[in-house]
Amino acid sequence: MELSGAAALVSGGASGLGGATVREIVARGGKAAILDRDGERAKALAEEIGDSAVAFEADVTDESQVQEAVEGAVQAFGSIRFVVGCAGIGWAEKTVHKEGAANLQPFETVIRVNLIGMYNVLRLGAAAMNGNDPDAGGERGCVVMTASIAAWDGQIGQTAYSASKGGVAALTLPAARDLSGRGIRVNTIAPGLFDTPLLAALPQEARDALGKGVPFPRRLGDPHEFALLACHIAENPMLNGETIRLDGALRMPPR
């Protein structure tokens, strides 16, 4: 896929991995619809970028809100050919702790946002791309989802997060096979430790210590490096049905 002149929809696109991906798409000559629960931040980023971006306030778990955002993106740009799902949340709680069993509701919420919300963006984005004219290679679009190395290396207290991200990784191949006949590719990036707003609340000393645990490079990942891979996936037509770890060879310890 040639990103220059193409339009993308990025969920969780107002900041972090999604925000970096929006900027990289536009830098390559594309256009981006920014979908985020933080409508003000999404609007601010779109205004900063200019005519190549539009913003939509939407919760990825809400069918009607995501559908409206997809339709709005198509109306704004004529079509969308690239969908990147970056929206997600975390939660830390042991399965059993001194107060008793873990709370069920946070587990359900994490699954709903990270897995069901991702599928919601996938299915509605793919449905919109299904109406595109295929390019010379028969491709109508590409989807990149976001998992985590916690899908395999989940730490103590990460049952909800790991289960949700493991679900995204498991979703990748069957979704790619489902959509292969329509010329739509599906891949997933599984980041390691990245310098995102989730880690920004930690003291700099703690962030530096986390980065030193990465074999090489010995630092936190930069969101721009995620964006580079997402855009490469879009541009490389043979990448399909794959989950790619982006972690500097990091394998997380139990705690």
DSSP 116: I
Burial environment of residue 140 by CB neighbours within 10 A (0 to 12, 13 to 18, 19 or more): buried
Distance CA 169, CA 147 (A): 6
At 252 the three-state DSSP class reads: coil
119 is catalytic: no
**Of 161, 193, 239, 247, catalytic:** 161
Residue 165, phi-psi category: left (phi > 0), alpha (psi -120 to 50), beta (remainder)? alpha
CB of 39 closer than 8 Å to CB of 173: no
Name the one residue in this structure whose structure tokens are 């970028």. Answer: 49
Sign of torsion over alpha carbons 92, 95, 101, 102: positive
Mind telling me the catalytic residues?
Answer: 161
